[in-house]
Structure 1
Amino acid sequence: MRIAFLNWRDLTHPEGGGAERYAQTICTGLAQLGHDVVLFCAAHPGAPASESLDGYRVVRAGGRLSVYPRALSAMLREARSRGRFDVIIDTQNGLPFWSPLVTRGPVIALVHHVHREQWPVVLGPILARVGWLIESRIAPALYRGRPYVTVSQRSRDELVDLGVAADDIHVIHNGTSRPLALATAKDRDPTLVVLGRLVPHKRVELAVDVVARLRDEFPRLQLRVVGDGWWRSAIERHAAEAGVSDQVHVLGYVDEITKHRELARAWVALAPSAKEGWGLNVVEAASHGVPTIAHHGAGGLSESILDGQTGVLVHESADLAAAAAQLLHDHAERARLGEAARHRALGYTWNASVARWHDLLQSVVAGAETSPAKAERESA
């Protein structure tokens, strides 16, 4: 098959994160199965406009907002010069790429999570309302009747709330790679880790507040922040204002081995994000036997973490410190949660995710009916 994958960014982008890892891992897997895959995404300084990577091609054009029309234009040029695409995967990271407007062929909408909570955090009140209108009303109408893919049951439920037919939605979880740096020992000092992009809705400041509240109880407590983003200076400023700069280490972007080493040495992971589609950071920490603390109601985090079994979910941000203190004190409970988390992480593999995508794409391209309810509606 010829497959076009539209995604806001790629993993080399300074703001690349879990959604980009998902996109590129699926692209790699599909390419290894013999498909012709092209990822269309935003450009960024230092990255070529086009390059081959792991068996598929990456075409970069446009910026934060201009990527949407520029990616569509690049896709149409590609189709004219090298042959039409059999299917388009249109990633809706809040905003869709509007691909149904330029093709009559099959389109699959990929939605990691609904952005209701993020719009006010990232944009002002007026633009936030516009963004939410597009995501909640216009996009569901434009993509109605087309297959959707999301990464958790929680996100599936939210899409249904927006009017997407439940039978049109396929849940294909994130996988996780084989953990590296397995020989790395736990740090001698109590160590917390946060993994992810540094943007406002990740709320890394809440992890900094945990350190500030527990500093007297755990004088040698350390927080290791693995990731980078445009919000980094605000987090570092918050740590300075809280008086814990000496205990908060913002490492920025690191290579895979360093990332796994940081996860392996940690005692507990924190995921204070307001919303996640699934929680790749949770499963990556779990692969090293590290339990994660997060919030109830934060989308897929309430699914990637089994409360009291593989980690802890709290209802209020003020409870993060108490939950962290309990696990830092209770070595046996921390080990129990960590081992259960490690065992559960083994069940989420990228090979399984790629296989599910492959089956869905074949079904869609072949014109096979993937929704019994839809067939009933059309035959009525």
Structure 2
Amino acid sequence: MTDACGGHVLFLNWRDTKHPEGGGSELYLDRVATELVRRGYRVTLLCQAHGIAPAQETTAGGVRIVRRGGRHTVYLMAALTYLIGLLGIGPLSRRRLGRPDVIIDVGNGMPFLSRLYARRPVIVLVHHVHREQWPVVFGPRIARIGWWIESVLAVRVYRRCQYVTVSESTRDELTGLGVDRHRITVVHNGTPEVTGPPVPRTPHPSLMVLGRLVPHKRVEFALRATALLALELPTVELVVAGQGWWDEPLLQLTEDLGIQDRVRFTGFVSEERKHELLCGSWLLLMPSLKEGWGLTIVEAGVRGTPSVAFRSAGGVADAMAEGETGVLVENEYDFFLQVRALLLDARRRTEMGSAAAVHAGRFTWEKAGEAFAGVVHRQLAGGMPSAPTGERVR
């Protein structure tokens, strides 16, 4: 176990796990931060405020959360909170939570740029590069500005910083942007714990999409595939588990395709209900445009459920063993064909599910926490890059 020496680690992230739009990146942060606390670190997360959580609290895992600002102002509020702490004011003053010894600057497209104002070691945590997502979420002008900030400005500001990312695919993309490969360490996600006893598969063909309902998740692909499959498999069913601001267009498309009786939108689901749905589904569908890591692929895998995802999505390729635990596709038509083929081939589907369960067991949060703690420890010890050859750490 890495010697923490009681250091104070400050995470800067736009959201926390209680945020209505929180997702896999927030879960990663929460689990890694909790593992750091277990190893003797003091950990604070500074993120945006929202209506369903207090301005400050401590999680069950010992992580202190400070919520300031909103969706667009959290970056400014993070800088102000840090700087007034130097004057002995606010939650990051010595008399309150204490001054940070190291900062984890989490880049979700828009960076905090903490290197400009903090005189402490800064570790940059990047889940994935947002080149494809900027034009999907914003108009052309804002997308160009956002991509310039992410791909040019941030790379320059953080040029001497240590990076951590969650997949080899994202590491390669960061290297392509000009980040020194020697400064990038890969620390994979862990496998979420299984909650509840096994649930039998549904007697009818069943598909599941799990995640936030936002445009870049491309749930439309799963809906259109279901409409085509229904022509041949009249009992096929699709469950869409998750919530998000893109729900109305998806509901409308479901109606337009005439598949209201074959699609269930569950909204937010508890861990227990998610477990039941993943166990019961024949396949997990992940048509997302881009992912730093395929967390839901691993979640499905631990329940013996194979996945179908897009090769171009990046980190999903690192979360599965292609052809063994799931299938990667090239385009939407290929997506439909591969889903159809697996639904019609029970033997192959079962073999993939068994392999997926074994593969998922390779990733644990304890390993992820130990690897992340090693990065932090080495930065506190002297600021040298944590992975001299850019190797992955599991």
Is the shorter-chain TM-score for this pair beyond 0.5, marking a shared fold?
yes
- Tell me whether 104-113 or 246-255 shows the greater mean CA deviation: 246-255
Aligned runs of 1:256-267 on 2, under 5 Å? 256-267=271-282
**2:138 maps to which residue?**
123
Q: Does 1:295 align with 2:330?
A: no
**2:4 maps to which residue?**
none
- Distance in 2 (CA, whole Å) between partners of 1:365 and 1:187 is 52
**2:224 maps to which residue?**
209
**2:174 maps to which residue?**
159
**1:70 maps to which residue?**
77
**1:377 maps to which residue?**
none
1:261-306 deviations in whole A, cap 9, x for unaligned?
1111110000000000011010000000111001112110122122
Q: Does 1:313 align with 2:320?
A: no
**2:56 maps to which residue?**
50
| Mapped contact 1:4–1:88 kept (Cα < 8 A) | yes
| Mapped contact 2:378–2:386 kept (Cα < 8 A) | no
Q: TM-score, normalised by structure 1?
A: 0.96
C-alpha displacement of 1:35: 1.3
- Distance in 2 (CA, whole Å) between partners of 1:285 and 1:371 is 32
Relative contact order: is structure 1 or structure 2 higher (C-alpha 8 Å, sep ≥ 6)? 2
- SS in structure 2 opposite 1:358? helix
| Mapped contact 1:40–1:74 kept (Cα < 8 A) | no
- Tell me whether 113-122 or 230-239 shows the greater mean CA deviation: 230-239
| Mapped contact 1:4–1:75 kept (Cα < 8 A) | no
- SS in structure 1 opposite 2:382? coil
Aligned runs of 1:73-84 on 2, under 5 Å? 73-76=80-83, 77=85, 78-81=91-94, 82=96, 83-84=98-99
The 1:226/1:241 distance shift into structure 2, 3 A limit, reads same
1:234-276 deviations in whole A, cap 9, x for unaligned?
1111111111111111111111111111111110000000000
C-alpha displacement of 1:368: 5.2
Aligned runs of 1:355-370 on 2, under 5 Å? 355-367=370-382, 369-370=384-385
Q: TM-score, normalised by structure 2?
A: 0.92
> Letter of the aligned partner of 1:10 in structure 2?
D
| Mapped contact 2:379–2:386 kept (Cα < 8 A) | no
> Letter of the aligned partner of 2:93 in structure 1?
R
**2:392 maps to which residue?**
none
The 1:199/1:107 distance shift into structure 2, 3 A limit, reads same
C-alpha displacement of 1:100: 0.7
CA RMSD in angstroms comes to 1.4
Match of 1:27 among 27, 33, 56: 33
Aligned runs of 1:341-380 on 2, under 5 Å? 341-367=356-382, 369-370=384-385
The answer for unaligned runs of 5 or more in structure 2 is: 1-6, 86-90, 390-394
| Mapped contact 1:91–1:111 kept (Cα < 8 A) | yes
C-alpha displacement of 1:373: 6.7
> Letter of the aligned partner of 1:72 in structure 2?
A
- SS in structure 1 opposite 2:9? strand
1:117-176 deviations in whole A, cap 9, x for unaligned?
000000000000000000110000000011000000000000000000000000000111
